[in-house]
């Protein structure tokens, strides 16, 4: 809106204040985009530092070496003493949480969601330091987590901190928090499009140009930092998979539905274990160390369950792992991860979900080929859709899971199976869970999380559609606070709230002394309620119409069958 189209508000004849309807894209979006790109560059280096710190702690803990080289804990020679390493790490995480901030507990995304929904996207700056440090200790001492959750939480905290320094609006600070979090994900995995979709499905709770432009630029920058600091090849390399046949697609759909059931069980198990820890008669500071006992014991019998385990995902996608190892990653990794996460330690959920899901998909594929040897399903494809469907069902991030699996492997023939299996898993999870693994924790605290995106009714209705019109324009000497007929109701609400008034005159734009009508809060409320009621009636009408079509079709089929008889 140009300057001459502004809505003037003059509380006095001396002091004129101008309130304008906010543009979808303005110069503020431009400056915000510059800031989030700079933040994403910094977050890329933070991601690299976090991975290096995890490698360092891993080498010190399991091999007694001061080295930043990537060396997983599975090859350690500690014997029975390997049980003590995760326990020491859990104890350190508990001390950091107790003395620093309890907000470092958990896997990152739910905590970021809660700050977006309840605290105007304000995260304590100390989280920017304590979250990666605690996560590096937890993972480096054998915790079965991924680095993506901590870097998402760290990136979100850094974006929020930058937004608090800039003194911007809560809406803009939400964009900066989201841009920082998703830039961290893109920096770890090199998946910019999946990171944007993650922002839409789990953090932004909106889809608008003013939010998508900065977030997309931040994700692109994060991915560029991944290519600069890590590698340019797909994170999870796998053999080329064939294009599926229609028979294969039926199996993949069924496999996705089964994994949807398993995803619901996995999610509920984590919070069941968390509830058990809540009943312990000791302070929560000690819980991570207690949960780490399960990590150590499992790691003693199955060393491949220790640590991040990105190599496990790559091995699963090859489709050539022996059944014993596949089942170990299904069950033992799940036990280790669920108990540790339920204890409230610091770590991510994405990598464990991908590992458990990939192993489950591969195991189910092996079972199908064993019972139906004539089936032509592809085992690497089963592992791929297994890991994505597990994420889709547990986190309810449908589009994110599909695109993430594609960007991590760059297998175009996997897109159709991914779409079918992930949708089936997503569909099943809604019948089995009221919330997801990402939202259960904050919903227990009474925080409602949106599950659908609707246009803002108040931005779609104009003042003229709602106001009480005057039969003939009434002339006044001067209007102090007013709106125009073409103004949006959202602007009218903003003015009423800012100046604590219940009604506004509606004036002629050409002659501001001519009052065309009046608008009050009750009119706006009635318009909002009527709009929602009309929308519900429209949806019911569609449903009734569809049922009518079904009855007609059924009637025709009955008549045809009678005619044949």
pLDDT tens sequence across 338-352: 999 888 887 778 889
pLDDT category, 516, cuts 50, 70, 90? confident
- pLDDT (0 to 100) of residue 450: 63
- pLDDT (0 to 100) of residue 379: 95
pLDDT category, 433, cuts 50, 70, 90? confident
Task: Specify the range with the lowest mean pLDDT, choosing from 103-112, 139-148, 191-200, 510-519.
Answer: 103-112
* b/e 106-129 (16+ beta carbons within 10 angstroms → b): bbbbbbbbbbbbeebbbbbeebbe
Looking at every residue in the chain, the average pLDDT score rounds to: 83
Query: Alpha helix (H) ranges present in 141-169?
Result: 148-166
Comparing CA positions, the residue from 33, 311, 310 lying closest to residue 183 is: 33
104, 96 in Cβ contact below 8 A?
yes
220, 392 in Cβ contact below 8 A?
no
Q: Rounded to whole angstroms, how far apart are CA atoms 131 and 95?
A: 13
Task: Specify the range with the lowest mean pLDDT, choosing from 332-346, 469-483, 512-526.
Answer: 469-483
- pLDDT (0 to 100) of residue 290: 94
Task: Specify the range with the lowest mean pLDDT, choosing from 75-84, 214-223, 464-473.
Answer: 464-473
Does pTM top 0.85 for this prediction? no
- pLDDT (0 to 100) of residue 500: 84
Task: Specify the range with the lowest mean pLDDT, choosing from 168-177, 192-201, 420-429, 465-474.
Answer: 465-474
501, 519 in Cβ contact below 8 A?
no
Does the structure show a pLDDT above 50 at 551? no
Terminal alpha carbon distance of the chain: 71
Structure confidence by residue, pLDDT tens digits, 141-158: 998 888 787 888 888 888
pLDDT category, 218, cuts 50, 70, 90? very high
Segment 410-438 mean pLDDT: 91
338, 289 in Cβ contact below 8 A?
no
**Tokens encoding 295:** 């990590």
- pLDDT (0 to 100) of residue 544: 46
429, 393 in Cβ contact below 8 A?
yes
Task: Specify the range with the lowest mean pLDDT, choosing from 170-179, 281-290, 397-406, 547-556.
Answer: 547-556
- pLDDT (0 to 100) of residue 452: 63
201, 400 in Cβ contact below 8 A?
yes
Structure confidence by residue, pLDDT tens digits, 121-130: 777 778 888 8
- pLDDT (0 to 100) of residue 556: 54
Q: E strands, 347-502, where?
A: 468-475
pLDDT category, 9, cuts 50, 70, 90? very low
Segment 435-449 mean pLDDT: 73
Helix pair 287-301, 246-278: axis angle to 10 deg: 130
CA Rg value for the chain: 28
Provide the β-strand partners of residue 15: none
- pLDDT (0 to 100) of residue 12: 35
Helix pair 310-318, 323-342: axis angle to 10 deg: 150
Does the structure show a pLDDT above 80 at 526? yes
Using CA atoms in the order 457, 463, 464, 468, what is the torsion angle rounded to 10 degrees? 110
Helix pair 127-140, 27-63: axis angle to 10 deg: 30
Task: Specify the range with the lowest mean pLDDT, choosing from 170-174, 189-193, 445-449.
Answer: 445-449
Does the structure show a pLDDT above 90 at 57? yes
Does the structure show a pLDDT above 50 at 17? no
Task: Specify the range with the lowest mean pLDDT, choosing from 40-49, 171-180, 540-549.
Answer: 540-549
Q: Rounded to whole angstroms, how far apart are CA atoms 74 and 63?
A: 11
44, 33 in Cβ contact below 8 A?
no
pLDDT category, 7, cuts 50, 70, 90? very low
Instruction: Give the pairing type, strands 17-19 and 468-475.
Output: unpaired
**What is the longest distance spanned by two Cα atoms in the chain?**
92
Comparing CA positions, the residue from 60, 68, 85 lying closest to residue 142 is: 85
What's phi and psi for 423, nearest 5 deg?
-65, -40
Q: Rounded to whole angstroms, how far apart are CA atoms 338 and 349?
A: 10
37, 217 in Cβ contact below 8 A?
yes
513 vs 536, more confident? 513
Q: Rounded to whole angstroms, how far apart are CA atoms 431 and 429?
A: 5
Structure confidence by residue, pLDDT tens digits, 352-377: 999 999 999 999 999 999 999 998 89
Does the structure show a pLDDT above 80 at 196? yes
**Tokens encoding 216:** 């997309």
The CA distances from residue 474 to 9, 492, 510, in Å, are 19, 20, 14
37 vs 440, more confident? 37
DSSP-based three-state secondary structure for 469: strand
């Amino acid at each position: 809106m140009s300057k001459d189209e502004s809505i003037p508000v003059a509380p006095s004849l001396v002091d004129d204040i101008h309130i304008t309807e906010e543009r979808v894209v303005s110069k503020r979006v431009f400056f915000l985009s510059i800031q989030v790109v700079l933040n994403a560059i910094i977050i890329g280096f933070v991601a690299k530092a976090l991975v290096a710190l995890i490698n360092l702690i891993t080498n010190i803990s399991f091999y007694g070496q001061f080295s930043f080289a990537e060396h997983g804990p599975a090859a350690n020679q500690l014997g029975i003493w390997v049980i003590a390493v995760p326990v020491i790490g859990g104890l350190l995480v508990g001390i950091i949480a107790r003395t620093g901030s309890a907000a470092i507990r958990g896997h990152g995304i739910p905590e970021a969601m809660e700050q977006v929904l309840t605290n105007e996207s304000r995260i304590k700056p100390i989280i920017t330091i304590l979250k990666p440090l605690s996560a590096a200790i937890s993972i480096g001492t054998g915790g079965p987590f991924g680095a993506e959750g901590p870097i998402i939480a760290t990136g979100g905290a850094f974006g929020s901190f930058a937004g608090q320094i800039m003194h911007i609006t809560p809406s803009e600070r939400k964009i900066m928090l989201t841009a920082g979090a998703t830039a961290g994900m893109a920096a770890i995995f090199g998946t910019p499009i999946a990171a944007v979709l993650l922002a839409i499905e789990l953090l932004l709770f909106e889809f608008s140009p003013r939010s998508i432009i900065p977030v997309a630029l931040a994700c692109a920058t994060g991915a560029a930092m991944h290519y600069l600091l890590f590698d340019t090849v797909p994170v999870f390399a796998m053999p080329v998979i064939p294009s599926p046949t229609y028979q294969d697609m039926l199996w993949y759909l069924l496999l996705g539905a089964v994994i949807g059931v398993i995803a619901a069980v996995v999610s509920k198990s984590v919070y069941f274990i968390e509830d058990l820890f809540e009943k312990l008669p000791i302070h929560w500071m000690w819980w991570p160390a207690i949960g780490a006992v399960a990590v150590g014991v499992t790691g003693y019998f199955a060393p491949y369950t220790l640590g991040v385990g990105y190599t496990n995902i790559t091995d699963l996608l090859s489709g050539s792992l022996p059944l014993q190892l596949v089942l170990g990653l299904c069950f033992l990794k799940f036990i280790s991860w669920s108990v540790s996460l339920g204890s409230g330690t610091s770590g991510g959920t994405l990598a464990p979900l991908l590992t458990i899901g990939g192993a489950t998909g591969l195991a189910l594929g092996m079972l199908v080929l064993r019972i139906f040897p004539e089936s032509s399903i592809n085992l690497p494809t089963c592992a791929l859709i297994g890991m994505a469907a597990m994420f889709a069902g547990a986190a309810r991030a449908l589009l994110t899971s599909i695109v993430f699996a594609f960007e991590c492997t760059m297998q175009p023939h996997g897109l159709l199976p991914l779409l079918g299996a992930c949708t089936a898993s997503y569909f099943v999870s809604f019948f089995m869970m009221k919330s997801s693994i990402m939202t259960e924790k904050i919903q227990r605290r009474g925080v409602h999380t949106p599950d659908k995106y609707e246009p803002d009714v108040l931005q779609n209705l104009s003042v003229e559609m709602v106001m009480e019109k005057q039969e003939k324009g009434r002339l006044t000497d001067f209007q102090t606070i007013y709106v125009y007929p073409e103004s949006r109701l959202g602007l009218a609400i903003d003015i009423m709230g800012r100046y604590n008034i219940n009604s506004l005159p509606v004036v002629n734009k050409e002659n501001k002394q001519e009052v065309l009508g009046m608008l009050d809060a009750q009119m706006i409320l009635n318009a909002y309620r009527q709009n929602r009621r009309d929308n519900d009636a429209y949806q019911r009408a569609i449903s009734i119409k569809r049922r009518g079509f079904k009855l007609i079709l059924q009637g025709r089929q009955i008549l045809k069958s009678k005619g044949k008889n």
